[in-house]
Amino acid sequence: MSPNPLLAPWETPFGIPPFNLIHPDHFPPAFAHAMDEHLAEIDAITANPAKPTFANTIEAMQRAGQTLARVAGVFSNLVVSLGGPALEALDTEMSPKLAHHGMRVALDPALFRRVDSLHAQRDTLTLAPDEARLLDRVHLGFIRSGAALGEAEKTRMAAISERLATLHTQFGQNVLHDEKDWHLPLTETDLAGLPEFLRAGARQAAAERGLDGYAITLSRSLIEPFLTFSARRDLRQIAFEAWIARGMHAGAHDNRALIPEILALRAERARLLGYPDFASFRLADSMAGTIQAVEHLLQEVWEPARQKAAAERARLLAVARAEGFNDTLAAWDWRYYAEKVRAADYDLDESLIKPYFTLPNMQQAAFDTASRLFGLSFIPLPDLPLYHPDVRAYEVRDETGHVGIFLADPYARPDKRSGAWMSSFRDQENMGTAVSPIIVNNNNLARAEPTLLSFDDARTLFHEFGHALHGLLSRVRYPLQSGTSVKRDFVEFPSQVYEHWFELPETLARYALHHETGEPIPPATIARLLAARGFNQGFATVEYTSSALIDLALHTHPAPETIDIESFERDVLAGIGMPAEIGLRHRPAHFQHLFAGGGYAASYYAYMWAEVLDADGFDAFLEAGDPFDPPTATRLKTILSAGDTIDPMELYVAFRGRAPSTKALLKGRELV
């Protein structure tokens, strides 16, 4: 019998997973072995007769579970990036088992006694700063997992964790099912208004589904441009209503019944730990700190955004009426008429702009920006075995040599999770032996030849690459502190600040080249694009902030098990004065940030919190007179390399010289 490739030594270049050898049936035995090994390593720590020290307890915990981390890293990435029935079934099977294992370690009384003993004497241990922070964070992790509770409460905490893992997995799979299941077939007579790039994407989407003609799917890279350009209002309505109905179809894939249970379990866990609600629990370990701080931030932008959106609505209606539109403006009309307003007010036409933004050039722009800021180079590795033909691999190097591996997975696929994200197959660490990171960026661009990006698509590519740099530039000892392992409302700062370099006139002039002629985008067009940055920001801010307010309302509800999610959504939107013509960016039944996992639960505000940091932070470069100012770039690199070794506000103040201000955010969104 051949050895399990997940457990055998990886003799691959750079230690990349041997994707060509790995099959779904390798995962269950690999997980079983890795979990047993991890428990044995934990038992060895707790059985150590020597008194607890940082080395024999905290550092030993960091060395434990390496096989499990390796197997889980491959599995979790393949589930969302590759997908398919076999991996989906395994995800359903493994998620509660992995949650059970995690809680078994987190609630181990002997392990907690050692950690608690060390934490009690932390001021006398003469620890290095990263060690002291690691001890604090490990101890806090035990407390927040319930390790200090009584036996009955710990048993309940473990059960909650397992059930939530199952529900999170089911929620995400239900959304994916609805996205895979729906498409809007189109014939030549249905294409009025659609530019050639969108026709090409729809033609490719139909071909991938074995259809003739054209198809619009629920991939954002197809649905949003369709809502922007289609002159067929009836088809826009069909597409929009399908988009917002994901997760809300009666039957086996209905997420509406899952949400109250998820919320109730989270609230119960918070109460067991002494918090009045889940939002209070979550925010206690964040930069924001309290519900009140988050509410203050969101309300600071909500009213100005609503006022700006009202002015935008009036302008849209003026254009629509001039074209003979006499109906009530609906959510499926906003993008369509906004594009007409943009063309009229800024002389911008997306169908004429998009040919300048090719995927290869935008990826190269992201690479070259990192080269200028941080001294990195990106060398293609065309012969590495990868998990899908779409994926491209690069070795990342600096002046000292190898830094890590970067994988780019740009295209939408039926079994791939929607959206855009960064993840890692391996995190950087250096506990005696340096381990380099393997980082992946996923996007969901519509496949076409050539692949043309919208201005927002290109900005998103830069955003995710900012996350990638956070992982690649990590320079820490311990894996728990590596890369993006920081507080949720700080993790978006590196990604969002990186977007600013995409919008530099010099970036656009160099990389926005017409895919047919090779001519750079005209300077006058760049000027109009940059002048239009505040265009439709009322809509965008309302769309985002309303979702953040829904998130907070859901996680502060006193009896979430009683929630009827559709009634709740209507009531919250009425209470905040949500404009009827603007839809939520994420309705609860497909809000994967909140319910396909717990990462952004009671934390969707984090994008806005990080925008305060990134808008204020980029001003440091402008004040230096150079967007690539070397001393400022060096200070930014310190943030990216520090991981969670330093409190994030301390990191930011060291970079900026002071605490952040919301003034740059409000100015950037033209809300003042």
- How distant, in Å, are the alpha carbons of 106, 238, 497, 566 from that of 245? 38, 11, 33, 11
Are 298 and 549 spatial neighbours (Cβ–Cβ below 8 Å)?
yes
CA 627 to chain centre: 26
Looking at 131, 339, 464, 611, which residue is catalytic? 464
One-letter identity of residue 229: F
What is d(CA 634, CA 628) in angstroms, rounded to the nearest whole number? 10
**Is the Cα torsion angle 273, 277, 279, 280 positive or negative in sign?**
negative
One-letter identity of residue 9: P
One-letter identity of residue 290: T
One-letter identity of residue 266: R
Are 599 and 593 spatial neighbours (Cβ–Cβ below 8 Å)?
yes
Is-catalytic flag, 464? Answer: yes
H-assigned helices in 182-257: 196-208, 220-229, 233-244
One-letter identity of residue 487: K
**Is the Cα torsion angle 238, 595, 422, 662 positive or negative in sign?**
positive
Helix, strand, coil percentages, rounded to 5, for the chain: 60, 10, 30
Respond yes or no on whether the N-terminal peptide bond of residue 85 is cis (omega within 30° of 0). no
Are 555 and 263 spatial neighbours (Cβ–Cβ below 8 Å)?
yes
Three-state SS sequence of 473-486 = CCCCCCHHHCCCCC
**Locate tokens 């929009």: which residue?**
240
Mutual angle of helices 648-656 and 630-642, in 10-degree steps: 170
**Is the Cα torsion angle 611, 614, 617, 619 positive or negative in sign?**
negative
Q: Read out DSSP for 426-439?
A: E--EESSSEE--EE
What is d(CA 362, CA 453) in angstroms, rounded to the nearest whole number? 8
Looking at the DSSP bridge assignments, the partners of residue 395 are: 379, 405
What is d(CA 376, CA 368) in angstroms, rounded to the nearest whole number? 8
What is d(CA 347, CA 364) in angstroms, rounded to the nearest whole number? 28
**Locate tokens 């950690």: which residue?**
115
Are 660 and 292 spatial neighbours (Cβ–Cβ below 8 Å)?
no
**Locate tokens 């109905």: which residue?**
245
Which has the closest alpha carbon to 270: 259, 288, 282, 287? 282
- How distant, in Å, are the alpha carbons of 189, 374, 635, 637 from that of 630? 55, 9, 9, 10
Longest Cα–Cα distance in the chain? 84
Catalytic residue IDs:
464
